[in-house]
Amino acid sequence: MNVFVIPSWYPSEAHPSTGIFFKEQSELLARHAQNIRLGISVWGQHEPSLWLPVHKPLSSLIKLASRPSIKKKDVHLNERCVEFFTPAYTWSRKIGKGNAKGIQEANEANFQRFTQAFGPPDLIHAHVAYPAGVIAQKLAKKHGIPFLITEHMSPFPMPSLKSIFKSKILPVLATADRVFAVSKALAMDISSYAIGSEVLSNFIDDEQFMPGSERKGGKMSLLAVGRLEKQKNYSLMLQAMGKLRDAGVDFELKIIGSGSMANTLQRLTQQLSLDTHVEWLGECSREGVSCHMKNADVLLNTSMHENQPVAILEALASGLEVVTTKWAGAQEFARTVNSHLVGYSPKEVVAALVTLSKEGVRPKSQIRALFDAHYSTRKQVDQLISRYEMVVNRAVSKE
């Protein structure tokens, strides 16, 4: 089976963690499913050299008048998974629809190269309704093949997409051959617009993320992974750390990620006199993240909204306790793996951590066993393949 994957977000050298799970999931799918060949369509989703900012009109016009400095290329991630990259400039949707035409043409070029390499795609899998779903819908109509969408938006709809929600996003979801949501909470949000969806979990490399040594007393090792943006609510986390220190708990907190709030959060760390407790690690390689997971005791998440954070799946695979705020969907982790849910106050975060400090964390092997029962890579891949086959078989029966 040939699958053409279109991710709305994708990592670049400047933004190595953005959409990394789309890339990793495609690689894992090709690795675990011998009958699947995948092409990932990339046009520079998060490549700064291809962004044309409105507030820099002169430099943007000069760029637009020239060819992109990055050339098209094909990158073989493994023998059955290839990135097809055709550069396309991106700018504000308020001007010329954000180069929707050029981006569509880049995806068509990638589609044609995939066809030359593997043969015609049997289906298109778009991650997130916009822009990937819209692109997939047009390609599917042109080439007469089915397309499906896995929705990841948080919140749904994202504030930046509200202006096109009714005109573009809902119609493309309504016409997809299948819609998946990565959490029950998201599926309920989608259903409120009279669109059916099926819950299908994200999946990770559960061979890379494995439990490390058990905790043997001493300092509690906390870890947080995520973009340093408002959504992640790190100010709440830092305030809680100040109170945790005052409660006499010996701990360290390592934070992996980068973002626009880095300087603000580091200043807050200094203001709270947490420099000796909090370490900012910036972006880390996947191997680096895995290593830090192995050495930690607890993953801490204080986000305002999420769906199904890959970092939590990685933490559970690594055998970590998870303490997380009660964003929509968090209860699914509490139900399946007994994660610790807290409210949006430093006091509740501290209470959960103090309890873990006093009573101890569960054995990592026990948490890993719960992960395997609900979120193992093999299980999720098999479910996705079965849905692919259903969609393709239904399309064939209509011919």
Per-residue pLDDT tens over the stretch 317-346: 999 999 999 998 899 998 889 999 999 999
Nearest to residue 281, comparing CAs of 264, 257, 303, 300? 257
pLDDT on residue 57: 78
Distance CA 384, CA 113 (A): 25
Topology of domain 2-203+377-398 in CATH is Rossmann fold (3.40.50)
Chain centroid offset of residue 388 CA: 21
Distance CA 394, CA 243 (A): 57
Say if residue 260's pLDDT is above 70: yes
Residue 54 tokens, joined? 């409105």
Mean pLDDT (whole number) for 67-80: 91
Contacts of 180 (CB under 8 A, 6+ apart): 148, 149, 150, 151, 197, 198, 199, 200, 387
Contact indicator for 82, 69 with CB cutoff of 8 Å: no
Say if residue 399's pLDDT is above 70: no
Q: How confident is the model at residue 305 (pLDDT cuts 50, 70, 90)?
A: very high
Report whether CATH 3.40.50.1860 matches the domain 220-375.
no
Contact indicator for 38, 122 with CB cutoff of 8 Å: no
Say if residue 65's pLDDT is above 90: no
State pTM to two decimals.
Answer: 0.93
Q: What are the sequence ranges of the domains in the chain? A: 2-203+377-398, 220-375
Per-residue pLDDT tens over the stretch 85-124: 999 999 888 887 889 999 999 999 999 999 999 999 999 9
User: Cα Rg for the chain, rounded, in angstroms?
Assistant: 22
Domains 2-203+377-398 and 220-375 share a fold: yes
Kindly report the backbone phi and psi dihedral angles of residue 288, in degrees, each rounded to the nearest multiple of 5, phi listed first.
Answer: -65, -45
CB atoms within 10 A of CB 269: 21
Mean pLDDT (whole number) for 232-258: 97
- What percent of the chain shows pLDDT beyond 90? 84
The residue behind tokens 């006091």 is 347
